[in-house]
Structure 1
Amino acid sequence: MLVSLVNFLPILILFIVGYTLKVRKFVKEDTIKDIKSLIVNLFLPSLLFLAFLRTNFETRYMLIVLAMFLVCLLALLLGFLLRGLFKIKYFYFPFLMSGFEAGMLGYSLYTFLFGKENIAKFAIVDLGQVMFVFLVMVTLLLRYSEEKKSSILNSFNYFLKVPVIWAILLGIIINKTGLLKVFTGNFLWESIVKVLEMLGGLTAPLIGIIIGYELNFKNIDFSSSKYVFIRYVFMVIFAMLFNKYIVVSKLGLDKLFTHAVFIMFLLPPPYVVPLYVKDENEQKFLFNNISLSTVISIVLILIYQMIFI
């Protein structure tokens, strides 16, 4: 119990730091947006590039990628089914049943708990859901938008512009082709690696501060808790089945992978979902649900690591 609290304490401190920065008005919201952009486009890609550069990406890992994609698709279809069965009035409810906010929450939590040297394991689990979010979820959200129509091809082009994807692919390619051995020892390469290490090292603490900054307990409507509860009931079931039949039985992977899967499924829905919605009531519902899910997610992951890690 004490060890678990010690492991989680740095995260809580960063949340407090971020929240204090907001309350004391030391940092403006525009600055936070700029930092987010740096994280998504520079810091996180640097971290993941180095992680996959130093990881032997095995062909069997593709089963995890494919399985995650299919589970996310199943969860979305389940959302549409539940919306019809229970006559849920919110049109975009199904999009809260699928996808995970790994970029601005998951990577930070996993890094603090297991170290950046193991972050590639979490990224492997994340890859399938990232593909789902950009190829399926964003396509549907844009089609439902009044202003814009979209196709899978357009979403694929958008997917290819995501820096994290290129960072992962480049890291795998350099590792698998043997270029890493060629580059090792070269002073220019070593300098680049050191710079990337410094940039990647900023990812987890900055994300922790941003999460704390954006926590808003005053405006959370707890009437959405029933929708959050529905999501997490199914997510826990999915995580248990995924670990049992894919990670353990089929692939025989270590506990760092099973922890990565469980932490992934305990994360809130993607933060980008409300950004594609024009209806104010629907958008308010989505923002509130995701805010509540974020708080609950952090609590659930804390409980999980106290029991299982």
Structure 2
Amino acid sequence: LLSKLLPILLLLLIGFVSKQLKVFSDSFIEELKGLIIKIALPAVLFDAFSTMKLQVSYLLLFSLVFIYCIILYGIGHGLHKFFPKVFSRYYTKGFMTGFEFGMIGVGLFGAIWGIDKLPIIMLVGFGHELFIWFFYVLFISKSTQKSYSLSVSLKQFIKTPTIIAIILGIVVNLSGIYPLMKSNVIGQSLFAVVEFLKPLTSPLILLIIGYTMVFHRTNLKEVAVYIITRIVLVMSLGTLLVFTIINIIPDIDPLFVQAFYAFILLPAPYILPLYIKNQEESTFFTQVLVYNTVITFIGYGVLLYIL
């Protein structure tokens, strides 16, 4: 257990200390983040999806995850409406659903289970990305009275580097041209570059996460209520969902259960505060997300111990 968690904690600590000592500039970290999201991660996902075993039943899995996220959103809305004294924040609904998979999920899962296993957690992640782009952003935007365009959202979704990589990987997989790509010099060089990137992706992501974690004074009691409520919701409904999926797709990869729980232990989407106009509420949820991220690390330790 320690052999897996200690390197992660050390990388997070290095990132955190680097921030305090101003070893790197904020602009450098943002550029490094862009390099990972736009090049390294898509390359790794393309390689993984071009070789993994694909099933038609995965379409049902994507749909179930999408519905799961919508239900969580609805419950969050209900908590604010019916229990306003406890859940006074208007964007409670935005916090109770969605998961920060792009950076934190990939970094943690890749570091613990290996970057080659990313397609397994992406079985959950793909349905979630559909939810974020075509439901979450839509309703959060409406709440802030910001304009929303389905066509613009669709274009952004299709232009996302990780989505492009996944789609191309699936096309290569289903078309059967993977062996052809591996048999020529250009293809061999392409996959050789991917092999160089694989061991770097997770450590760099963890350094960035550590660097971006900033703690400020806040109402810890209220923070605890929000985080505990979210954990209870995502875990209870998530457990029902994972058993449903296992029964529907009995031959799914044995690692899927761990991957699923690893996914739902992630904090809420980091984009949430960006859509909140009220400065005080935006600051509150920014801090909730920081503490939620810490709880995620603890949750991963428990997950490794149990499973």
TM-score (norm 2): 0.94
**Which runs of no fewer than 5 residues in structure 1 stay unpaired?**
none
Number of aligned residue pairs: 303
Pairs within 5 Å for 1:91-130: 91-130=90-129
Match of 1:167 in 2: 165
Residues 52 and 119 in structure 2, CA contact (< 8 A), matched pair in contact too: yes
Distance 2:184 2:272 in 1: 44
Distance 2:43 2:284 in 1: 34
**Offset at 1:241?**
1.0
Distance 1:89 1:151 in 2: 29
Match of 1:17 in 2: 14
**Secondary structure of the corresponding residue to residue 160 of structure 1:** helix
Distance 2:122 2:218 in 1: 30
Distance 2:273 2:264 in 1: 20
Distance 2:198 2:132 in 1: 24
Residues 16 and 210 in structure 2, CA contact (< 8 A), matched pair in contact too: yes
Distance 1:47 1:265 in 2: 22
Q: What CA RMSD, in Å, does the superposition of the two structures yield over aligned residues?
A: 1.5
- Comparing 180-189 with 209-218, which one deviates more in the overlay? 209-218
Match of 1:143 in 2: 142
Code of the residue aligned with 1:213 in structure 2: it is Y
Check if 1:214 corresponds to 2:212: yes
1:8 to 2, 5, 14: 5
**Offset at 1:218?**
4.3
Code of the residue aligned with 2:15 in structure 1: it is G
**Secondary structure of the corresponding residue to residue 149 of structure 1:** coil
Residues 69 and 97 in structure 2, CA contact (< 8 A), matched pair in contact too: yes
Check if 1:132 corresponds to 2:134: no
| CA deviations over 1:67-119 (Å, ceiling 9, x no partner) | 11110011101111111111132111100011101111111111122112211
**Secondary structure of the corresponding residue to residue 159 of structure 2:** coil
Distance 1:20 1:245 in 2: 43
Distance 1:196 1:219 in 2: 42
Code of the residue aligned with 2:5 in structure 1: it is F
Match of 1:47 in 2: 44
**Which runs of no fewer than 5 residues in structure 2 stay unpaired?**
none
Check if 1:35 corresponds to 2:35: no
Match of 2:296 in 1: 297
TM-score (norm 1): 0.94
Identity %: 31
Match of 1:266 in 2: 265
**Offset at 1:227?**
0.6
- CA change 1:220–1:303 in 2 (3 A) is farther
Residues 50 and 197 in structure 1, CA contact (< 8 A), matched pair in contact too: no
Match of 1:185 in 2: 183
Code of the residue aligned with 1:214 in structure 2: it is T
Distance 2:162 2:103 in 1: 12
Distance 1:203 1:278 in 2: 34
| CA deviations over 1:132-159 (Å, ceiling 9, x no partner) | 011111112222334x311333322221
**Offset at 1:221?**
4.1
1:66 to 63, 66, 75: 63
Check if 1:83 corresponds to 2:80: yes
